[in-house]
Amino acid sequence: MGLVFLFPGQGSQYVGMGRELAAAFPAARHALAEADAALGRPLSRLLDQGPEEDLRLTWNTQPAILAVSVACLRVLGDVEPLACAGHSLGEYAALVASGALDYADALRTVEQRGRFMQEAVPVGVGSMAAVLGLSPEHLREICEQISRDGHRVQLANDNCPGQAVISGHVAAVEAAVVAAREAGAKRAVPLAVSAPFHCDLMAPAAERLAPVLEGVAIATPRLPVVANVDAAVHGDGPSVARRLVQQVRSPVLWQGCVRKLIELGGSRFVEIGPGKVLTGLMRRIDRDLPAANVEDPASLEAFQKGL
């Protein structure tokens, strides 16, 4: 069947995510209750009731999306994919699905990851922007031409053909936006984010995350998990940890990840968790391959009918 699971990252969150699934399935309720116990706080209440401004805080957003993704995964039960991958934060859910990471350990790790990433750069120093209509290679050239000490901008996401994200110092990102428009980008706009993710400004976060991951038991994944940093399959536990540390400050090569999953035999892609961001990207990467999401009872039923 070539079934592949994709797990969403930050930006897919919304108040009420997981609510219908938890109401309908004990397995989902148990997964959210486990998240509350692992973190020692009522994360499930934040998911259900908000407020939205608290859910948007990075150290809340990251465990929240992971919890809902795992709740969806638990409801699916014994369905085993050919392979899986996750976008940024979603890579942790993919590793939980593969048996490499314990769910509770993953929750506590991404809570700290979110805090480290938010604290790495003072508010107002960094920013990100989406660029449509330029190749990643062209965008990298623009970033290299603009960057210098204390004025750096880098490719942060290669999401799909014609869609990328840049990240770095505010003035450098602004200059890159102007240069991208002049180079023929269809659109180049700043993003409303709290920090400049997936660039070298995240180096302090990566340094703080490394000892946390050293203290986490990570097994060799029982099925292929494609890593963001190099679009290659994770190996043993130490290899997983190294790539997760690198991921914080490195571009998310999502288009490459999907191409690798197709190379592995992936022919049907299912986004497990809140939102349909990855489903939309999949259709732009290869519209001939079926893609759908599972996040509520209706989408779950549609998925199960297709098995």
* pLDDT single digits (tens) 206-261: 999 999 999 999 999 999 999 999 999 999 999 999 999 999 999 999 999 999 99
- Compute the mean pLDDT over every residue in the chain, rounded to the nearest whole number: 95
> Using an 8 Å Cβ cutoff, are 226 and 233 in contact?
yes
3-state helix, strand, coil in the chain (%, to 5): 50, 15, 35
For 31-52, how does the pLDDT look when each residue is reduced to its tens digit (9 = 90+)?
A: 999 999 999 999 999 999 999 9
- Three-class secondary structure of residue 268 per DSSP: strand
Q: pTM above 0.85? A: yes
pLDDT at 173: 97
- Three-class secondary structure of residue 140 per DSSP: helix
CA angle, 60 then 40 then 209, to 5°: 55
Q: How many residues does the structure list for the chain?
A: 307
pLDDT at 130: 95
Average pLDDT, stretch 268-291? 95
| CATH value of 3-120+201-305 in 3.40.1080.10, 3.40.366.10, 3.40.50.720, 3.90.226.10 | 3.40.366.10
pLDDT at 133: 96
Token output for 80? 């085993």
pLDDT at 221: 97
- What single DSSP character describes residue 200? G
pLDDT at 123: 86
Q: Indicate the domain borders of the chain.
A: 3-120+201-305, 126-193
pLDDT at 257: 98
pLDDT above 90 for 90? yes
pLDDT above 80 for 285? yes
What phi and psi values does residue 171 have, to the nearest 5 degrees?
Answer: -65, -35
pLDDT at 300: 87
Q: Which residues contact residue 206 at a Cβ distance below 8 angstroms, ignoring those fewer than 6 apart? A: 245, 246, 248, 249
Question: Residue 192: pLDDT band by 50, 70, 90 thresholds?
Answer: confident
pLDDT above 80 for 1? no
pLDDT at 304: 84
Which residues are annotated as catalytic?
88, 198
pLDDT above 80 for 102? yes
pLDDT above 80 for 76? yes
The residue with greater pLDDT, 157 or 306, is 157
Long-range CB contacts for residues 232-236, cutoff 8 Å, separation at least 24? 232/260, 233/83, 233/260, 233/264, 234/95, 234/98, 234/100
- CATH number for the domain formed by residue range(s) 126-193: 3.30.70.250
Strand bridging mode 187-190 / 3-7: unpaired
Measured N-to-C along each axis, helices 103-119 and 58-76 cross at an angle, to the nearest 10 degrees, of 160
Query: Among 116, 22, 11, which residue's Cα sits nearest to residue 68?
Result: 22
- What single DSSP character describes residue 215? T
> Using an 8 Å Cβ cutoff, are 76 and 96 in contact?
no
Rounded Cα distance between 283 and 173, Å, is: 28
Question: Residue 263: pLDDT band by 50, 70, 90 thresholds?
Answer: very high
Q: Which residues contact residue 22 at a Cβ distance below 8 angstroms, ignoring those fewer than 6 apart? A: 28, 29, 32, 44, 71
pLDDT above 90 for 305? no
- Position 281: which residue type? L
Average pLDDT, stretch 284-307? 90
